[in-house]
């Protein structure tokens, strides 16, 4: 699997292909912010990156569910710990 990821990364660098989300994450990292595993805060039903209120739900387990912003330009992904915890963490 690592070889495939390295090949994809090489291809993207070769043709300078970056998604809007990758550009946004790169900007956050340049500001010194950790993006993977970052606890974003209490969940209020709004995407912290673009302000959208629409999400897709993914796999779930226990009180947690993976969610993805439904905005095509954003598509940020989070792990949401449902109430009573009600926190989101970037994945």
What are the per-10-residue average pLDDT scores of the chain (91 residues)?
69 62 70 64 83 91 91 89 86 86
Phi and psi at 77, nearest 5°, equal -115, 140
The pLDDT score that the predictor gives to residue 56 is 93
Name, in order, each residue with C-beta under 8 angstroms of 55's C-beta and a sequence gap of 6 or more: 47, 67, 68, 69, 70
Q: Where are the domains of the chain?
A: 2-90
- Identify the pLDDT of residue 36: 59
Structure confidence at residue 86 (pLDDT)? 86
For 19-56, give one letter per residue: b (16+ CB within 10 A) or e: eebeebbeeeeeeeeeeeeeebeebeeebebbebeebe
Provide the pLDDT for residue 89: 86
pTM of the model: 0.58
Using alpha carbons only, how large is the chain's radius of gyration in Å?
Answer: 15
Query: What pLDDT, on a 0 to 100 scale, did the predictor assign at position 68?
Result: 92
């Amino acid at each position: 699997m690592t070889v495939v990821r390295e090949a994809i990364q090489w291809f993207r660098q070769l043709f300078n292909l970056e998604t809007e989300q990758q550009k946004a994450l790169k900007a956050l990292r340049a500001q010194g912010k950790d993006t993977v595993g970052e606890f974003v805060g209490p969940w209020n039903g709004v995407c912290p990156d673009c302000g959208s209120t629409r999400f897709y739900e993914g796999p779930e387990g226990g009180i947690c569910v993976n969610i993805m912003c439904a905005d095509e330009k954003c598509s940020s992904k989070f792990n949401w710990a449902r109430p009573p915890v009600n926190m989101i963490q970037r994945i």
